[in-house]
Amino acid sequence: MSSVSPASRTVLVTGATSGIGWETARLLEGRGCTVIVHAPDVASGQNAVDRLVASGADASRLCLAVADFSRLDEVRSMAARIADGHPALDVLVNNAAVAAPERRTMTADGNELSLQVNFLAAYLLTHELSDPLSARPGSRVVNVSSAMHRTASIAWNDPHRAKRYSRLAAYAQSQLALTISTREKAPWTSVSVHPGICDTALLPLYAHEGDSAVEGAQRVARLCDPATEIVQGAYYDRTALSPAAPVAMEDRTVRRLCKLADQLVAKAA
């Protein structure tokens, strides 16, 4: 339980320019938090901040942080700037995600695009922010994952899917990796959540219609609230504590994935 009042809590929401990320930022600012709004570029970030202010947010409680997650050097730079400006971080919401493209796309860092943006960037960011996340008791990391992780497997010998690429398999693998990494031991409490199938840019991967982005964001924001008791490493399906895919519950797999992630992010350093 955090002893920090909502008004003095600092939260970073990645992928906060639209959809669930933007709505989560709006909800948390409305509860008095200082919200660091992550965007892939300055223009979309400033637009997101302007829309938050237009919706009633207090501009003095909003900070913009910019990094293109397809470039891991930008993730590192952003983390350094955040740590410098915010020595204590109470919540990190790893929400940024892209749909895997129809054709296999590699980043400049040499990683398959959805694996990097949806998992490796979040993994790296969380590690790079370990000091601010450890600064106060009760800090949380909320990984916005997907029920699609249940359909996935990690291609250990071919994580970038060079031999056999399918956009659904690549996307599902990135969500499974994020869900598995939630169980890595850390000084803070980490959970992953499937916010429901929501009407966002990722909807076409799932269905033709879904819940509103606001409903998805409410499920994410709930897990950020110190009044909500959460279980370390747990997976939530909307608001219900739910078993993750069996492979995500294996300690051996957690260690294996973290070793792979360390190798892939180190290669890009």
Known catalytic residues are 171
Alpha carbons 86 and 132: distance in angstroms, whole number: 7
Q: How many CB atoms lie within 10 A of CB 17?
A: 22
Distances in Å between the Cα of 67 and the Cα atoms of 44, 101, 102, 142, 233 are: 11, 20, 24, 19, 27
Strand partners, 11: 35, 91
Task: Determine the length of the chain.
Answer: 269
**Are 179 and 193 a contacting pair, CB within 8 Å?**
no
